[in-house]
Structure 1
């Protein structure tokens, strides 16, 4: 009898650290496996601590493809304190035994087995655990044919400060060890991916990629030799499978699949291509997941009391332009690692040495853009690149700006237009594609010097930067512009990001009620001299420079501030100044002759003038564009249906349009406050019953956008194009799965709920009706309600109102203020955020977001946010169905026309016109 409870019956195996016995749990009456640390190791306190860490890490895993850990404890013997853990007992054989008998295996069987292993590893990786010893003997095949990954005994918690193995040591099995593991370097999920590729090679060919007489010779081969394709040893292996395996065997981890899930999806795609479906594919039972309900006993880490703006959705008609419900600053992030202390970051947006000063000219900017043309030409490069100056850029819009005042505007069309006449400390790089998501210095000499563990940002202004009257721009002008956003009585509609981050309990009233003699009393911002400005945060927030790239951080000269009237003619700091503005007549911008291009690495300033006229409606905008009297729709909200049909049918006109990914996502939120959708299984029933392609069709089909599998759109880091949790991205639904989960949540006959959508959006009503029709097929009766926009959005921020109204499903659209996954997802998932319409408070998601916020490496952070997105999909509260696209027209007069990822349309400041 062991531990007073477990009757040891037979020794199943022994390794370098532990023994495993077949045992009988006398308390629960079941057969288990008991793993004990070897006595000689148990005498070492450090070894016991390592063993306990193994147990805690393994016990956190809950996946049908991973051997379950039931219990962990210690017993005292005459010789030592012996730690042990209790695991489920698997009846079956190891994959190593099967490989010895049957390899080379039938190819599709080998791939299917590998996919199941990868699925289990993806679960572990998402929870911060790397196996580090993936090999056939650690994979069990049950008598029923299920695949189970075992022995996370030398796994380590990713990012942990205490390591299970010492620096420079290599633990693992040589035939399956990644090059970095052989070298004793740090490992991550991609090291497990490499090991899986070695296993798959063995299943396909009968041998691992590298073999040798000694372990050292094998490890040397992993580091230095090139693997041969599996087809060289087994001609039946197709080249597509060769490519997947060799990619995962790359020496450089960055060239491998980014995750076990990505490799699994690639192999699954190959399997699907081998066997054309004869009907709807059978989905495996979804893995066991924790219920997506609030955890009353769990107290999330405190980030301080956030303050959020309450804004209408971006597609809600309001007076003035079409506004976006844009992402808000979640409270602030978890602690940033200590390596951030006093790090100066100088970013050249074009990839040069970051230590070199940024000295770019208009010619340099244009030369860095790839020339393109024709239909969709502006998506990947610049149409008609040119350095020619002169002429008038003619803009048109059916919407008047909400305000030209940077403290008041919350309109994307003004944010784009403002790059012509406003400068900030930093701004988005003037390039298409991913390069445009990077920040570049604007008024400042760098993108910021970070100190105090990520809590302090210091900027130095360039020499020679001035306002339109020639007055130098000082650090006090920048601080004053920021302080104006605190005057809520005068500027209630503008973004509150800076107030959220910088007020810090001061309750600062803005400069007009400031008791400081200079009207610069905001304590968290210091201006020690005319060229230095220092921001003190009360906790690290890695996206803070992105906030400074928004118009509200542009400088304002205090002597020229006319308060409410400042929006009529804000003082220019950019290459253009406002010559005239009238909400009826339009806007005219002319050159600011005090602007010095030598200080500006963002703007090319090619046209002599920019004119904006206002049209009666969207149809009038289309007419002006296609007859040549206007060059571009300022709002870039897309051609109307009749115009779109005509343009796409005419090759000449079609060459002037781009189907632009706006960065917006249309989605349904399934409310946790409204029964029975408070039960995750009822939410899964809705997910499986929904054909996302049909929802897109209700908005116009393929031209409306791409079918969405996750919340992160393709314009945001962390987007996973393979994410398809419910198998409904490629079209179709699974009513049998839906009915199964209806039964499991106690609603076998279905239930009734309400689908709520803003009554001001006819297209959204069509989508809601399409969803209701699909749900009816599985017994869910959904009634569509269309309250007016004001009532709709007021209720969304109040879970009690949602519950009282019975709104079980809500249709909205989301787009973030800056293109980062934190800026996009945090407001949707953070507990108590008014944009978390579903009311989800999930322990695992909160922990993952905190970890992602503290990750300073961009690729690593994107991978963590990708996991956040997929985990949120597991919970079933968000049902994204469309990554929005708009068909935008550009005149053939335009030069340097490219779509900017942070702006969702053409970058207006970069445009020139042909003479």
Structure 2
């Protein structure tokens, strides 16, 4: 550790800090010191040591080689050659996009660097503009400290998911196994950034950028001609990307055509390869500041004798923040300091969500209910908010889906906030006895779906939760993953909450912070809520109405509190006039005028128009109180202030969360929660196979995501009577379906649509989805977990048999007695959806309906089926998709699918293009209805009309098979979430 003297700090990242160092012989190096908490992780240190050894073998010209390291030091560290160059991101920000010729040279150098890295068995895993330094003789790829050894398995999956939003491949974002093709995707993103001047997947919240990288087409409009290789590098499917050898050959051809370069013989003399302005910046005399090998962090000029870093950064805007923002670097004293033994590392920002239920984004995939990836799985793709929050959360379910996959090509199932039919009478009461659990004695498979398993009042012990990926945010106002909404009930109380009961009662809204149900004005536009007396924050401070109002107001500023649902903005400020508390310029600074706080215990909400879904908004995390003086903005999720029975003891992003008792919580003020364990430990286990093993061997209690077991684990659990007795397959609230596009002939005739319903083989379709434990047959569109659903089945679908004679009658009625041909769109990487399409094709063939199946990749599917003009142009008549609502309420599920006034040119979710005035009118009536029972009846009528019109063929109401540790007590599925209610669990007072 005494071999290098520290001259200045260059920057910081997820693994630690980087310093500019000088050896006793005068050699300049960049020293990366591992974060203290990572250095305490034996698995991380083993991986780090292996990667250091592999990185030492990287000797490519276009890499900054590892020259020294001590992976067993205290702390562990490594040193790479110091490159006094200009980071690529800084060059682009200061001087703009690059021309074709420079892009070719840049690409050639980076591909050679990848060849050298991959040749040692490493994958870089974080190739991004700030990790590319521009020297006069070519680019240098830096930061091998987070590389991944390709031959490793579980070991390499330990620790954090490392990478940079917008430059990570889809498989890396979703936690799937990665390889050299992942670096090729990152290469494409880097070259796109250099060629256009902007990130190809935009900017914004990490999960939004990640979602676009996984599901949307990159923006390459500014690329110069002759750069088609960039788009090919950015293919969603790793198998479709060019390999490094193929790129080497392509750049050899491209550079050979210029007549100035022979590939393999080095770049042109001096700075000829660079744009003129960048070359000028690199060759200018050194100035007051310089950029070093930490990826562009500005540092003070090193002492005399230090090689001259160029001052091209002196006038440029500050580069985009690194994963962990660097603090200002103090003047380095004349006496050089040794590398600190325990460097101070700032707390990293929240990691990007690895979706479960994930909210739909603009032009994204609202109806996605599951996801399949080729190859071993991990967390599913994250969902990112962005479009009107009508039903964003459900796609949050996509994320959960990811955890489902465990083997090559296995489809991931989802799980979201689901709802069941509401006990409307109980929902209208303030019944403090709702927390009481009646022993049921239920045992065995599916026992927790409608009963309480192992009822107990014993307190104590530690509840051990696992998850394949971290929360999108622990800030209740930002969270959008359904499983996070479930977990946050432990520490955050909301105005209303879903009842702590199994079965249909679990979807009933009951008072939480509120002392009673809201008082609603006759016109349905004013809601008045009174807080309970005696409720406090974790420090004992009373919770006041102003704290709840402020919590809601802060989510209006999406530049600070981003990513969460935006329903409140739509309900209370549809014109978008209120900017959030920090930007409130009114003289009184009273905040959002649509919320009044006449006293410390009263809130009055004034809606822009009646909305029967509003009570469900009062159960969302945005109503969890936030004390203004404790709000840390975007970092609040690192340590939210508790109002529930537990508070944060520690949180390490992408690694663990520990909750302990909140001693200022009073059971007398909280009829919902029991708070049985003394401690809750949630561990992020990024290896799905290891997670499953811990569940089945009893070292973990529950998968917090509850997205469903992977295929191999499903088979094991269902085949072992003892294991099966501790498993449940609850309905998730999602429905897989086939949309019949009513604007595409011949489906513009309802009889042709009905012919499909009768010709379909329901049992074969259920089998294609995974069988009875993966989904239950449905006769109509609304899932059984939502009030208003019933046994309506006009086509006899739940009988499980195709009805070819009735199908032929409908064909004759629509004037196509011999049948017809139609085109069906499906996602090519979603194995269950593809299987659904093939089964449907076979069953329809029996009555003369011939389907042409068009398989679309992720980058084209949702942008295509979500665009009515594209659907018309391509002639799509059927679309295999799925849907799940944000709330257990009819409008949340049905309106996005069938309100004709919501059809949009892009991002459309009314896939069948239903625009029936009678249905639209019913939606308006349901929205204005203040009686939940009557609203449910109207949604029942809407469901019947949609079904009568044969717009959506319901395939199954999806289920998720999950395993629970037999030692758990008070286990039941809360149907509002479609998951075991985590806040109710106990461990029998044991360890």
Q: TM-score range by the shorter chain?
A: 0.5 to 0.7
Most deviating of 694-703 and 676-685 = 676-685
* Shift in Å, 1:751: 3.4
Q: For residues 907 and 353 of structure 1, what CA distance do their matches in structure 2 show?
A: 18
* SS of equivalent residue, structure 2 residue 728: strand
* Shift in Å, 1:822: 3.0
Q: For residues 793 and 819 of structure 2, what CA distance do their matches in structure 1 show?
A: 25
Q: Which residue of 1 aligns with 2:235?
A: none
Q: Which residue of 1 aligns with 2:893?
A: 824
Q: Which residue of 2 aligns with 1:487?
A: 557
Q: Which residue of 2 aligns with 1:727?
A: 796
Is it true that 1:454 corresponds to 2:524 in the alignment?
yes
Equivalent positions of 1:14-413 (< 5 A) are 312=366, 313-316=368-371, 329=390, 359-360=432-433, 365-368=435-438, 370-413=440-483
Is it true that 1:811 corresponds to 2:880 in the alignment?
yes
Q: Which residue of 1 aligns with 2:868?
A: 799
Could you give the per-residue CA deviations for residues 700-753 of structure 1, whole angstroms, max 9, x where no partner exists? 2222121111111221122222x2222233122233433443344344444333
Alpha carbons 2:762, 2:955 under 8 Å: kept: yes
Equivalent positions of 1:357-756 (< 5 A) are 359-360=432-433, 365-368=435-438, 370-516=440-586, 520-721=590-791, 723-756=792-825
Q: For residues 710 and 638 of structure 1, what CA distance do their matches in structure 2 show?
A: 25
Q: Name the TM-score, length of structure 1 as normaliser.
A: 0.61
Going from structure 1 to structure 2, the CA distance change for 1:441 and 1:615 (only over 3 Å counts) comes to same
Going from structure 1 to structure 2, the CA distance change for 1:583 and 1:795 (only over 3 Å counts) comes to farther
* Shift in Å, 1:328: 5.3
* Shift in Å, 1:856: 4.9
Could you give the per-residue CA deviations for residues 420-455 of structure 1, whole angstroms, max 9, x where no partner exists? 111111101111112211111111111211125211
Equivalent positions of 1:7-18 (< 5 A) are none
Q: Is there any run of 5+ residues in structure 2 with no aligned partner, and where?
A: 1-360, 393-421, 903-907
Give the one of 959, 976, 986 matched to 1:885. Answer: 959
* SS of equivalent residue, structure 1 residue 458: strand
Could you give the per-residue CA deviations for residues 204-254 of structure 1, whole angstroms, max 9, x where no partner exists? xxxxxxxxxxxxxxxxxxxxxxxxxxxxxxxxxxxxxxxxxxxxxxxxxxx
Q: For residues 641 and 786 of structure 1, what CA distance do their matches in structure 2 show?
A: 23
Q: For residues 493 and 973 of structure 2, what CA distance do their matches in structure 1 show?
A: 20
* Shift in Å, 1:543: 2.3
Going from structure 1 to structure 2, the CA distance change for 1:677 and 1:316 (only over 3 Å counts) comes to same
Could you give the per-residue CA deviations for residues 268-296 of structure 1, whole angstroms, max 9, x where no partner exists? xxxxxxxxxxxxxxxxxxxxxxxxxxxxx
* SS of equivalent residue, structure 1 residue 912: coil
Going from structure 1 to structure 2, the CA distance change for 1:320 and 1:832 (only over 3 Å counts) comes to farther
Q: Which residue of 2 aligns with 1:768?
A: 837
Going from structure 1 to structure 2, the CA distance change for 1:317 and 1:442 (only over 3 Å counts) comes to farther
Could you give the per-residue CA deviations for residues 868-889 of structure 1, whole angstroms, max 9, x where no partner exists? 2122111111111101112211
* Shift in Å, 1:416: 0.5
Could you give the per-residue CA deviations for residues 350-390 of structure 1, whole angstroms, max 9, x where no partner exists? 988977x6545xxx724445342222221222111111111
Q: For residues 754 and 519 of structure 1, what CA distance do their matches in structure 2 show?
A: 57
Q: For residues 329 and 544 of structure 1, what CA distance do their matches in structure 2 show?
A: 12
Q: Which residue of 1 aligns with 2:948?
A: 874
Q: Name the TM-score, length of structure 2 as normaliser.
A: 0.56
Alpha carbons 2:573, 2:608 under 8 Å: kept: no
Q: For residues 440 and 831 of structure 1, what CA distance do their matches in structure 2 show?
A: 33
Q: Which residue of 1 aligns with 2:139?
A: none
* SS of equivalent residue, structure 2 residue 936: helix
Q: For residues 384 and 883 of structure 2, what CA distance do their matches in structure 1 show?
A: 6
Is it true that 1:844 corresponds to 2:918 in the alignment?
yes
* Shift in Å, 1:855: 4.7
Q: For residues 774 and 576 of structure 1, what CA distance do their matches in structure 2 show?
A: 54
Q: For residues 553 and 935 of structure 2, what CA distance do their matches in structure 1 show?
A: 32
Alpha carbons 2:547, 2:628 under 8 Å: kept: yes
* SS of equivalent residue, structure 2 residue 460: coil
Alpha carbons 1:315, 1:323 under 8 Å: kept: no
Q: For residues 838 and 724 of structure 1, what CA distance do their matches in structure 2 show?
A: 19
Going from structure 1 to structure 2, the CA distance change for 1:588 and 1:846 (only over 3 Å counts) comes to same
* Shift in Å, 1:891: 0.4
* SS of equivalent residue, structure 2 residue 961: strand
* Shift in Å, 1:790: 4.7
Q: Which residue of 1 aligns with 2:936?
A: 862
Q: Is there any run of 5+ residues in structure 1 with no aligned partner, and where?
A: 1-306, 332-347
Q: Which residue of 2 aligns with 1:64?
A: none
Q: For residues 728 and 427 of structure 2, what CA distance do their matches in structure 1 show?
A: 34
Alpha carbons 1:663, 1:883 under 8 Å: kept: yes
Q: For residues 691 and 890 of structure 2, what CA distance do their matches in structure 1 show?
A: 34
* Shift in Å, 1:417: 0.6
Could you give the per-residue CA deviations for residues 606-644 of structure 1, whole angstroms, max 9, x where no partner exists? 111111112234332221111011000111122222222
Going from structure 1 to structure 2, the CA distance change for 1:678 and 1:618 (only over 3 Å counts) comes to farther
* SS of equivalent residue, structure 1 residue 454: coil
Going from structure 1 to structure 2, the CA distance change for 1:452 and 1:719 (only over 3 Å counts) comes to closer
Going from structure 1 to structure 2, the CA distance change for 1:308 and 1:349 (only over 3 Å counts) comes to farther
* SS of equivalent residue, structure 2 residue 851: strand
Going from structure 1 to structure 2, the CA distance change for 1:771 and 1:495 (only over 3 Å counts) comes to same
Q: Which residue of 1 aligns with 2:984?
A: 910
Alpha carbons 2:655, 2:685 under 8 Å: kept: no
Q: For residues 762 and 325 of structure 1, what CA distance do their matches in structure 2 show?
A: 23
Could you give the per-residue CA deviations for residues 679-711 of structure 1, whole angstroms, max 9, x where no partner exists? 222212222221122111112222212111111
Q: For residues 468 and 811 of structure 1, what CA distance do their matches in structure 2 show?
A: 48
Alignment root-mean-square deviation, CA: 2.9
Could you give the per-residue CA deviations for residues 369-416 of structure 1, whole angstroms, max 9, x where no partner exists? 534222222122211111111111011112321221223221111010
* SS of equivalent residue, structure 1 residue 526: strand
Aligned length: 588
Most deviating of 884-893 and 751-760 = 751-760
Give the one of 816, 824, 827 matched to 1:758. Answer: 827
Going from structure 1 to structure 2, the CA distance change for 1:353 and 1:738 (only over 3 Å counts) comes to closer
Q: For residues 765 and 547 of structure 1, what CA distance do their matches in structure 2 show?
A: 36
Most deviating of 529-538 and 900-909 = 529-538
Q: Which residue of 2 aligns with 1:300?
A: none
Alpha carbons 1:316, 1:789 under 8 Å: kept: no
Could you give the per-residue CA deviations for residues 83-141 of structure 1, whole angstroms, max 9, x where no partner exists? xxxxxxxxxxxxxxxxxxxxxxxxxxxxxxxxxxxxxxxxxxxxxxxxxxxxxxxxxxx
* SS of equivalent residue, structure 1 residue 811: strand
Q: For residues 747 and 352 of structure 1, what CA distance do their matches in structure 2 show?
A: 51
